[in-house]
Amino acid sequence: MRTFSKKDIDGMDKIYRLNMINSITGYKSANLIGTQSASGIANIAVFSSVIHLGSQPPLLGFILRPTTVPRHTYQNLKANGIFSVNHIHADQIADAHHTSAKYPDNVSEFDHTQLVAQYHSQWPAPFVKDAPIQLACRYQNEYPIEENGTILIVGSIETIYLKEDLLMDDGWVRLDRGNIVAINGLDGYAKPELIERFSYARPKKV
């Protein structure tokens, strides 16, 4: 087994270290976050940091990189306080990944990919057509992470849109039926497959 000390890690080539540290923590969620600028430009960007924060009230979070350079998702959130979260289908991975390209804020990523903007019930933030799960979310708060200058954004889930065959009788959502992908590192896309689902774990009787 290879071993890397803190000194080894600090001395790595930047790209090598970036690839390693981003992938060793395991598979991450793969989502497209949709926002709209104050001037009405639809923005869509790939994120691998969306996490569950709680179910009552339903909250999620995601990490924004430091705002030392323009972050259009952040600018749009601050402008109107709403966004969408869209799970990425396996057929969408090339276009989803391309949304990480640095376009000017007056350019929509929808215009440079095959992704299609979709709108629901007067919600101004764009959704991604054919995404198996779409979440309408509202900005609630943000927490700066002092150690590296990133920001944890907290949003409330206002409306859920999902393909009906993903929803089980007990409310559980079976993601693999939707060909939903995960992200390995920064640029690796994988399609998880359900192995087993277990009942609620309780202590074993001696």
Q: For residue 183, which of 65, 85, 88 has the smallest C-alpha distance? A: 88
Q: For residue 63, what pLDDT is reported?
A: 96
CATH number at residue 38: 2.30.110.10
Range(s) of the domain holding residue 54: 27-190
Asked if residue 44 belongs to a domain, the reply is yes
Asked if residue 206 belongs to a domain, the reply is no
The answer to whether residues 155 and 162 touch, using CB atoms and an 8 Å cutoff, is no
Q: What is the pLDDT along the chain (206 residues), one digit of tens a residue?
A: 999 999 999 999 999 999 999 999 999 999 999 999 999 999 999 999 999 999 999 999 999 988 777 789 999 999 999 999 999 999 999 999 999 999 998 999 999 999 999 999 889 999 999 999 999 999 999 999 999 999 999 999 999 999 999 999 999 999 999 999 999 999 999 999 999 999 889 998 87
**DSSP class of residue 180?**
B
Asked if residue 19 belongs to a domain, the reply is no
Kindly give the residue spans of alpha helices, DSSP state H, lying in 24-136: 72-80, 93-98
Structure-token pair, residue 101: 């390209």
Q: For residue 68, what pLDDT is reported?
A: 75
Q: How many domains does the chain have?
A: 1
Q: ∠ at Cα 23 (61, 45), nearest 5°? A: 45
Kindly give the residue spans of alpha helices, DSSP state H, lying in 3-122: 6-10, 14-23, 72-80, 93-98
Tell me the C-alpha distance between 193 and 41, whole Å.
36
Asked if residue 128 belongs to a domain, the reply is yes
Q: For residue 197, what pLDDT is reported?
A: 93
Asked if residue 98 belongs to a domain, the reply is yes
What is the pTM (predicted TM-score) of this model?
A: 0.94
Q: For residue 121, what pLDDT is reported?
A: 86
Q: For residue 183, what pLDDT is reported?
A: 97
Q: For residue 126, what pLDDT is reported?
A: 97
Q: For residue 205, what pLDDT is reported?
A: 83
Asked if residue 83 belongs to a domain, the reply is yes
